[in-house]
């Protein structure tokens, strides 16, 4: 439970003013649903994997949209990794008395090497985790290691269940390579038990170990494979991945400013990451977060609200497989004469707002919590210490780094998969989030 201080640092008259502004912002966001319409347009372009042609189309779309809305726009150049999936992956059981010919739905993991034309064909060893793999290391040589641990549905916070399962994705290939495995399959890390595989980034390969290909399995096919291995432990699976990493390529962070009226060199960042995986349309992850950030600026503009400090909307590139955009902007922030006061990131889907997670000193946190009587009108239930966002955490010396936290019950149904499409975004949920972020950004500008 949140303990709040009954004495607010916002005097009563100011509170009335802020409440009036909050109501305007919420009303405009929910009634006009402008950002929702922009997200529809963005999603029509398709997914936006870093370095892809589509990502460049989307960057141009964003640049034009920001200019049309009347903002100053800066395309900040960033060199990004250029990992490409290539032709669709194949996986089939090629030797088995019972299961021969069964095809499995797989997706290469981001950063994985591909196989050669023939693919790899090997027996499969199923393990739950790295400890079990270590114990059974002698069985792994020459085989495909199948990490089959599922996202635990029993945790209320789905990010916790995700965190508990995701190391098989990030480190599985490295761990398996230690013991001479030739490939890795993981059960998709997802809360939805369909057969749509969920990808995501692996850590970089370790130079001292062989680089073995890694892919995720649809949840139902992971069940199938697990059952099949019980009946036929010696079945042989073929997997063929056509992915590869091309040389780094030029891309951009897309940045729009609403210039502050009194302290234009003091910056409040509102942001999301513009790249997505190459499936679905990256609607929740993180097209929606970007569009919310842009709508923050537009809400101020269309409602003639003039913040004292500059509100800067950043669409970071390459969060998914490199964070090069975040790092590049962090480098810029280190050297500019502008002062970065605070930064907000929306990268947990665009569902109904719950609260904000803050990295700051404790006095700043209390200050923010004292704004709750205003912020709660826009759906913010709490402000808690701890956590912010991958991209904004590259900005040093701010007073507060803040992650927007919406309801997370549906997020990992969609995350990193073909399920992450515009149709899964609810206009009111998304717009209420934009309003919540706008109001926090405004208070950060005026009161921090």
Q: Which residues are catalytic?
A: 319
Instruction: Please say which residue, 332 or 377, places its beta carbon nearer to a second copy.
Output: 377
- If one asks whether residue 158 binds a second copy (CB under 8 A), the answer comes out as yes
C-beta of residue 124 within 8 angstroms of C-beta of residue 146: yes
In angstroms, what CA-CA distances link 242 with 184, 201, 225, 392? 15, 16, 22, 33
- If one asks whether residue 223 binds a second copy (CB under 8 A), the answer comes out as no
- If one asks whether residue 3 binds a second copy (CB under 8 A), the answer comes out as yes
The nearest distance, CB 290 to a second copy, in angstroms, is 21
Instruction: Please say which residue, 33 or 251, places its beta carbon nearer to a second copy.
Output: 33
Interface residues for a second copy in 293-322 (CB under 8 A)? none
Instruction: Please say which residue, 22 or 50, places its beta carbon nearer to a second copy.
Output: 22
- If one asks whether residue 247 binds a second copy (CB under 8 A), the answer comes out as no
Contact with a second copy (CB under 8 A) among 105, 348, 410, 415: 410
Angle at 266 between CA 6 and CA 36, to 5 degrees: 75
The nearest distance, CB 333 to a second copy, in angstroms, is 33
The nearest distance, CB 220 to a second copy, in angstroms, is 16
The nearest distance, CB 52 to a second copy, in angstroms, is 31
Instruction: Please say which residue, 218 or 379, places its beta carbon nearer to a second copy.
Output: 379
In angstroms, what CA-CA distances link 272 with 240, 390, 416? 34, 10, 16
- C-alpha span between 280 and 373 (Å, rounded): 38
Residues 6+ apart with CB under 8 A from 157: 408
Interface residues for a second copy in 367-396 (CB under 8 A)? 372-373, 376-379, 381-382
Contact with a second copy (CB under 8 A) among 16, 27, 44, 265: 27
Tokens of 113: 């090497």
Q: What are the backbone dihedrals phi and psi of residue 120, each rounded to the nearest 5 degrees, phi first?
A: -110, 145
Contact with a second copy (CB under 8 A) among 152, 262, 265, 361: 152
Q: What are the backbone dihedrals phi and psi of residue 178, each rounded to the nearest 5 degrees, phi first?
A: -55, -30
C-beta of residue 133 within 8 angstroms of C-beta of residue 175: yes
C-beta of residue 240 within 8 angstroms of C-beta of residue 92: no
C-beta of residue 214 within 8 angstroms of C-beta of residue 437: no
Instruction: Please say which residue, 164 or 232, places its beta carbon nearer to a second copy.
Output: 164
- If one asks whether residue 338 binds a second copy (CB under 8 A), the answer comes out as no
Instruction: Please say which residue, 32 or 447, places its beta carbon nearer to a second copy.
Output: 32
- If one asks whether residue 409 binds a second copy (CB under 8 A), the answer comes out as yes
Tokens of 155: 């945790």
Instruction: Please say which residue, 14 or 90, places its beta carbon nearer to a second copy.
Output: 14
Interface residues for a second copy in 420-439 (CB under 8 A)? 426, 428-429, 432
C-beta of residue 357 within 8 angstroms of C-beta of residue 369: no
- Quick one: CA dihedral 264, 267, 273, 275, positive or negative? positive
- C-alpha span between 408 and 406 (Å, rounded): 6
- If one asks whether residue 163 binds a second copy (CB under 8 A), the answer comes out as no
Residues 6+ apart with CB under 8 A from 285: 276, 277, 347, 349, 411, 414, 415, 416, 420
- If one asks whether residue 14 binds a second copy (CB under 8 A), the answer comes out as no
- C-alpha span between 298 and 295 (Å, rounded): 5
- If one asks whether residue 40 binds a second copy (CB under 8 A), the answer comes out as no
- If one asks whether residue 352 binds a second copy (CB under 8 A), the answer comes out as yes
- If one asks whether residue 337 binds a second copy (CB under 8 A), the answer comes out as no
List interacting residues with a second copy (CB under 8 A): 1, 3-4, 6, 26-28, 30-31, 33, 152-156, 158, 191, 352, 354, 372-373, 376-379, 381-382, 407, 409-410, 426, 428-429, 432
């Amino acid at each position: 439970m949140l303990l709040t201080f009954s004495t607010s640092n916002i005097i009563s008259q100011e509170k009335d003013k802020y409440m009036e502004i909050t109501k305007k912002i919420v009303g405009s966001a929910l009634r006009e649903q402008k950002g929702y319409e922009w997200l529809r347009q963005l999603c029509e372009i398709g997914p936006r994997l870093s370095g892809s042609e589509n990502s460049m189309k989307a960057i141009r779309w964003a640049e034009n949209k920001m200019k049309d809305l009347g903002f100053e726009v800066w395309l900040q150049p960033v060199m990004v990794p250029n990992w490409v999936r290539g032709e669709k992956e194949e996986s089939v059981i090629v030797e088995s008395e019972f299961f021969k010919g069964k095809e499995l739905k797989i997706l290469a993991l981001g950063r994985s090497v591909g196989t050669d034309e023939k693919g790899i064909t090997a027996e499969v060893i199923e393990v739950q985790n790295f400890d079990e793999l270590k114990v059974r290391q002698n069985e792994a040589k020459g085989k495909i290691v199948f990490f089959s641990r599922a996202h635990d549905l029993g945790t209320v916070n789905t990010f916790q269940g995700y965190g508990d399962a995701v190391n098989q994705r990030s480190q599985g290939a490295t761990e398996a390579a230690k013991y001479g495995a030739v490939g890795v399959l993981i059960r998709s890390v997802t809360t939805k038990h369909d057969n749509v595989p969920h990808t995501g980034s692996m850590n970089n390969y370790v130079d001292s170990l062989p680089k073995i290909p890694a892919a995720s399995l649809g949840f139902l096919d992971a069940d199938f494979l697990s059952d099949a291995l019980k009946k036929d432990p010696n079945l042989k699976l073929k997997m063929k991945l056509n992915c590869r990493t091309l040389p780094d390529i030029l891309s951009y962070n897309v940045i729009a400013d609403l210039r502050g009226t009194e302290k234009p060199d003091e910056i409040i960042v509102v942001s999301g990451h513009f790249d997505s995986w190459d499936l679905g349309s990256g609607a929740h992850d993180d097209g929606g977060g970007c569009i919310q950030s842009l709508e923050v600026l537009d809400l101020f503009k269309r409602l003639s609200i003039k913040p004292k400090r500059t509100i800067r909307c950043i669409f970071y590139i390459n969060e998914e497989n490199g964070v090069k955009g975040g790092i590049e902007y962090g480098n810029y922030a280190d050297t500019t004469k502008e002062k970065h006061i605070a930064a907000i990131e929306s990268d947990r889907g665009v569902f109904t707002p719950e609260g904000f997670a803050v990295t700051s000193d404790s006095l700043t946190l209390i200050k923010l919590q004292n704004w709750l009587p205003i912020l709660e009108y826009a759906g913010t239930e709490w402000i808690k210490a701890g956590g912010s966002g991958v991209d904004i955490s590259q900005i040093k010396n701010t007073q507060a780094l803040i992650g927007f936290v919406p309801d997370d019950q549906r997020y990992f149904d969609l995350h990193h998969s073909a399920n992450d499409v515009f149709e899964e975004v609810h206009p009111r949920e998304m717009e209420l989030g934009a309003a919540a972020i706008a109001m926090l950004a405004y208070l950060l500008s005026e009161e921090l």
